[in-house]
């Protein structure tokens, strides 16, 4: 007998403001992520900084993802299949802190986001389930 799932896969999409990174999303972002990991070498970071689009053209990245990288739109990149552990390498190349990169998705200014974290972070109240509104 196969073992039962403890929850349906749809429930992974029931968390507000959250996109769970899956094997399928990894496929969508494969070339984007390959580019991100290339930024782990200093000479590649320099080449990217010198010509962002030209550097990205070395990879088979879909145009929408390239555009989102140029705009440093991390929310869009997550929506298009990206995962933050890859994407943060773009932020590091820019000299951004992880907090600045992560906070940029929250709709808050870096100052507001930083203050929220000092105050104890974002409460999970009302942020657990879309369906159950809790």
Partner 1 sequence: MARITAGVATSHVPAIGAAIDNGKMADPYWAPIFEGYEFVKQWAKDNTPDVVILVYNDHASALMLDIVPTFAMGFADEFLSADEGWGRRPVPVVYNHIDLAAHIAEQLVIDEFDITIINEMDVDHGLTVPLSLVFGQVEEWPCKVIPLAVNVTQFPTPSGERCWKLGEAIRNAVKTFPEELNVQIWGTGGMSHQLQGTRAGLINKEFDNRFLDLLAHEPEELATWTRLEYLREAGTEGIELIMWLIMRAALGYGVEELHRFYRVPASNTAVGHVVYKALS
| Tokens found for residue 14 | 């029931």
Site track for partner 1 across 69-108, x = CB under 8 A: -----xx--x----xxxx-xxxxxx-x-xxx--xx-xxx-
Q: Which single residue is written with the structure tokens 């550097």?
A: 55
Show the CA angle centred on residue 28, arms to residues 25 and 34, nearest 5°. Answer: 105
Closest approach, Cβ 113 to partner 1, in A, equals: 6
134 CB-near residues (< 8 Å, 6+ apart): 126, 128
Residues within the interface to partner 1 (CB under 8 A): 6-7, 11-12, 15-23, 26, 30, 33-34, 36-37, 39-42, 45, 74-75, 78, 83-86, 88-93, 95, 97-99, 102-103, 105-107, 113, 116-118, 120-124, 127-129
């Amino acid at each position: 007998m196969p073992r039962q799932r403890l929850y349906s896969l749809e429930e992974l999409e029931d968390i507000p403001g959250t996109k769970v990174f899956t094997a399928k999303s990894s496929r969508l972002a494969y070339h984007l992520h390959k580019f991100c990991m290339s930024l782990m070498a200093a000479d590649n970071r320099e080449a990217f900084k010198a010509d962002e689009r030209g550097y990205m053209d070395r990879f088979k990245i879909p145009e929408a993802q390239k555009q989102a990288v140029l705009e440093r739109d991390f929310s869009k990149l997550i929506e298009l299949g990206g995962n933050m552990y890859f994407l943060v390498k773009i932020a590091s190349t820019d000299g951004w802190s992880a907090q600045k990169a992560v906070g940029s998705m929250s709709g808050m200014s870096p100052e507001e986001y930083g203050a929220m974290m000092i105050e104890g972070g974002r409460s999970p109240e009302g942020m657990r389930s879309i369906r159950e509104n809790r």
